[in-house]
Amino acid sequence: MEILVAKSAGFCFGVKRAINEAEKTASEKASDIYTLGPIIHNPQVVERLEDSRVFVREGLDEIDKGTVIIRSHGVKLQEYELARSKGLDIVDATCPFVKKAQDLVSRLSEEGYSVIVVGQKEHPEVKGIISYGPPGIRVVETPEELKGMAREKKIGIVAQTTLPMKKLEAVVSFCVSRASEIKVFNTICNATSIRQEESASLAREVDVMIVVGGRNSANTRRLAEICRSIQPRTHHVEVAEELEPAWFADTEKVGVTSGASTPDWIIEDVVRRTAHLCPK
Amino acid sequence: MEILVAKSAGFCFGVKRAINEAEKTASEKASDIYTLGPIIHNPQVVERLEDSRVFVREGLDEIDKGTVIIRSHGVKLQEYELARSKGLDIVDATCPFVKKAQDLVSRLSEEGYSVIVVGQKEHPEVKGIISYGPPGIRVVETPEELKGMAREKKIGIVAQTTLPMKKLEAVVSFCVSRASEIKVFNTICNATSIRQEESASLAREVDVMIVVGGRNSANTRRLAEICRSIQPRTHHVEVAEELEPAWFADTEKVGVTSGASTPDWIIEDVVRRTAHLCPK
């Protein structure tokens, strides 16, 4: 039996970088280290970091000294400033793509554009991005939410990095007739679409498809849906222990892919155990 | 019987301005005056101007001295420079909205954007606009024409002033995923859409609708189509003499509208003759 692992499986660039920063900080500093919110939605990774004295805190009111790591989502400008005024050591692991979206909102506002951020209002990344704009900056996911907007001279548009492209296109298209000038920064990171396309193409090649990742991870669930629509013998697991021998009956080829928050060692575990279950 | 005339009937701002400039120039200068191409697609207006020594010439090779009037469509930058080098007196009656589109192409090119002009390749206005960009600048009417375009860093988009908004929206939407940054200048003039909307609403109110304008004028024909779809008793005429008494049987209200190239005095003629045909 052959096991094929998607090249794009595992952490995206920004998450990998944030975890590396956390591990590096833990190895260099003697004091306690905190992350503002879990560094990633994966309990195994968070536990591992706790063993290295990197603890999760939900807000800065819970941190009075030591080092604070800003995760890949970024934080609000006000939180950043509060951390500084509290004299905390700041390790800024904001994903460079998110940082760019923050900077662009700030730049567009300064240049006199009415800024629209296309994304999910409640997502921590979006809350951070809009904090770089003026109060009352617009956040929408669909053009319908802009109905009734007065005509503007200049509209500037920035997207949440994980936004589906179709949503950005729809909002931009709506705005064309609502302003004399529109400046769009396509800040969408293509890691998600590349992973989805590669997994779909893998699902077409194999008899069984294994999707590894948290059951609470939206991007992993979406990945499993896509694979299942192509190969009905698709199974979504969080850890290797969930794999069942019966899944691999009459199987020549198994495909393995994972969501963005799944660490490499969990993927390796799954590959090892799959090989063990069907050794032929 | 009541006769209602659409407020937006008659020349658009740019055409009105160009004709005023031509008349003013004729009254001030003793020498012959030329327009590069007919100042408007209306033979009556062109004849009137000829009586004031304003003649139509198709190219600068036909003009060696005197005054040249640039019509509202504008001309190519190279033609402008040639007129200057020939020592001609230049009266630039380029529509300010077209001038703006020309300037924006030049500015976007200087700022490093790959410029796309959305419009009709063969239209004189578009030929003028693109002459302000680099050689090989793209002109398209639909996104399909951009298939296979390499991904760009910065795309700048400008539209022909008479483009339907839907066409600009479609091209902009296509470009969102093809560049990191997109700057769109909505250079569409709303004179056409305002005239169409007002005429449609007038057609709903009346028993007979008269659309005045050249039969070779695309915008007049389109206006007649729109009115006819609402009020089947719609008639397209070029001059008052074409009006037939039978059209006004059992009529309480007549609506009159016109294309962008129809002068006021032709509209007034039509109104007068309509009143004469149905005096009750």
Position B277 scores a pLDDT of: 86
| Percent of chain B residues topping a pLDDT of 70 | 99
**Bridging pattern class, strands A138-140 and B152-159:** unpaired
Position B167 scores a pLDDT of: 95
Could you report the per-residue pLDDT of A112-153, keeping only the tens digit for each? Answer: 999 999 999 999 999 999 999 999 899 999 999 999 999 999
Mean predicted lDDT score pLDDT of chain A = 93
Neighbouring residues of B226: CB distance < 8 A, sequence distance ≥ 6 = B196, B199, B200, B203
Of B180, B183, B186, Cβ closest to residue A176: B186
The CA–CA distances, whole Å, from B262 to A15, B18, B160 equal: 64, 14, 21
Position A1 scores a pLDDT of: 83
Position B109 scores a pLDDT of: 97
Confidence class of residue B17 from pLDDT cuts 50, 70 and 90? very high
Mean predicted lDDT score pLDDT of chain B = 93
Q: What would the mean pLDDT of B94-123 be, rounded to a whole number?
A: 96
Q: Residue B112: CA atoms inside 13 Å, Cβ hemisphere, count?
A: 6
Closest residue on chain B to A104 (Cα): B181
Contact at CB, B173 and A172, closer than 8 angstroms: yes
> Which residues of A make CB contacts under 8 Å with B?
165, 168-170, 172-173, 176-177, 179-186, 188
Cβ contacts of A101 on chain B, cutoff 8 Å: none
Contact at CB, B184 and A165, closer than 8 angstroms: no
The whole-angstrom separation of Cα B216 and Cα A73 is: 60
Position A280 scores a pLDDT of: 59
Please say whether the beta carbons of A117 and A129 come within 8 A: yes
Confidence class of residue A278 from pLDDT cuts 50, 70 and 90? confident
Catalytic residue among A21, A79, A125, A238: A125
Position B12 scores a pLDDT of: 86
Our CA-based measurement puts residue B254 at a distance from the nearest CA of chain A, in whole angstroms, of: 33
**Bridging pattern class, strands B152-159 and B208-212:** unpaired
Of B173, B181, B184, Cβ closest to residue A169: B173
One-character DSSP codes across chain A = -EEEE-TT-S--HHHHHHHHHHHHHHHH-SS-EEEES-SSS-HHHHHHHHHTTEEEESSGGG--SSEEEE-TT---HHHHHHHHHTT-EEEE---HHHHHHHHHHHHHHHTT-EEEEES-TT-HHHHHHHTTS-TT-EEESSGGGGTTPPPEEEEEEEE-TT--HHHHHHHHHHHGGGEEEEEEE----THHHHHHHHHHHHHHH-SEEEEES-TT-HHHHHHHHHHHHH-S-EEEESSGGG--GGGGTT-SEEEEEE-TT--HHHHHHHHHHHHHHS--
The whole-angstrom separation of Cα A49 and Cα A26 is: 8
Could you report the per-residue pLDDT of B177-204, keeping only the tens digit for each? Answer: 999 999 999 999 988 889 999 999 999 9
ipTM, two decimals, is: 0.82
> Which residues of B make CB contacts under 8 Å with A?
165, 168-170, 172-173, 176-177, 179-186, 188
Contact at CB, A176 and B180, closer than 8 angstroms: no
Cβ contacts of A165 on chain B, cutoff 8 Å: 176-177
Is the per-residue pLDDT at A279 higher than 80?
no
A125 tagged catalytic? yes
Contact at CB, B177 and A186, closer than 8 angstroms: yes
Cβ contacts of B177 on chain A, cutoff 8 Å: 165, 169, 186, 188
Our CA-based measurement puts residue A130 at a distance from the nearest CA of chain B, in whole angstroms, of: 19
Q: Which residues of B are catalytic?
A: 125
Cβ contacts of B183 on chain A, cutoff 8 Å: 181-184
Position A211 scores a pLDDT of: 97
Q: What would the mean pLDDT of B131-145 be, rounded to a whole number?
A: 95
Is the per-residue pLDDT at B216 higher than 90?
no
Record the tokens describing residue B100, joined without a space: 């703006």
Contact at CB, A182 and B172, closer than 8 angstroms: yes
CA quadruple B72, B73, B77, B81: dihedral sign = negative
Confidence class of residue A162 from pLDDT cuts 50, 70 and 90? confident
Cβ contacts of A169 on chain B, cutoff 8 Å: 173, 176-177
Record the tokens describing residue B36, joined without a space: 């590069």
Contact at CB, B177 and A183, closer than 8 angstroms: no
User: Which of B184, B189, B192, B193 to mutate to test binding with chain A, by most A CBs within 10 Å of its CB?
Assistant: B184
Cβ contacts of A172 on chain B, cutoff 8 Å: 172-173, 176, 182
Please say whether the beta carbons of B122 and B128 come within 8 A: no
Could you report the per-residue pLDDT of B249-271, keeping only the tens digit for each? Answer: 889 999 999 988 888 889 999 99
Cβ contacts of A176 on chain B, cutoff 8 Å: 165, 168-169, 172, 184, 186
Closest residue on chain B to A101 (Cα): B180
Buried b (16+ CB within 10 A) or exposed e, A197-229: eebbebbeebbbbbbbbbeebebbbbbbebbbe
Cβ contacts of A185 on chain B, cutoff 8 Å: 180-181
CA quadruple B229, B230, B236, B242: dihedral sign = positive
Cβ contacts of A183 on chain B, cutoff 8 Å: 181-184
Ranked by mean pLDDT, the top range of A8-12, A26-30, B240-244 is B240-244
- Nearest of A151, A148, A153, A157 to residue A178 by alpha carbon: A151
Q: What would the mean pLDDT of B79-86 be, rounded to a whole number?
A: 96
* B82: number of Cβ within 10 Å: 16
Q: What would the mean pLDDT of A65-72 be, rounded to a whole number?
A: 94
The whole-angstrom separation of Cα B248 and Cα B127 is: 44
Closest residue on chain A to B183 (Cα): A183
pTM of structure:
0.85
Contact at CB, A181 and B184, closer than 8 angstroms: yes
Contact at CB, A168 and B176, closer than 8 angstroms: yes
Confidence class of residue B74 from pLDDT cuts 50, 70 and 90? very high
Confidence class of residue B279 from pLDDT cuts 50, 70 and 90? low
Residue B44 or residue B168, greater confidence = B168
The whole-angstrom separation of Cα A123 and Cα A214 is: 18
Contact at CB, A180 and B169, closer than 8 angstroms: no
Could you report the per-residue pLDDT of A182-196, keeping only the tens digit for each? Answer: 999 999 998 888 999
* B144: number of Cβ within 10 Å: 10
Is the per-residue pLDDT at B110 higher than 90?
yes
Closest residue on chain B to A169 (Cα): B173
Contact at CB, B185 and A184, closer than 8 angstroms: no
Which of A176-180, A190-194, A210-214, B25-29 has the least mean pLDDT?
A: A190-194
Our CA-based measurement puts residue A1 at a distance from the nearest CA of chain B, in whole angstroms, of: 39
Contact at CB, A176 and B182, closer than 8 angstroms: no
Which of A268-277, B41-50, B98-107 has the least mean pLDDT?
A: B41-50
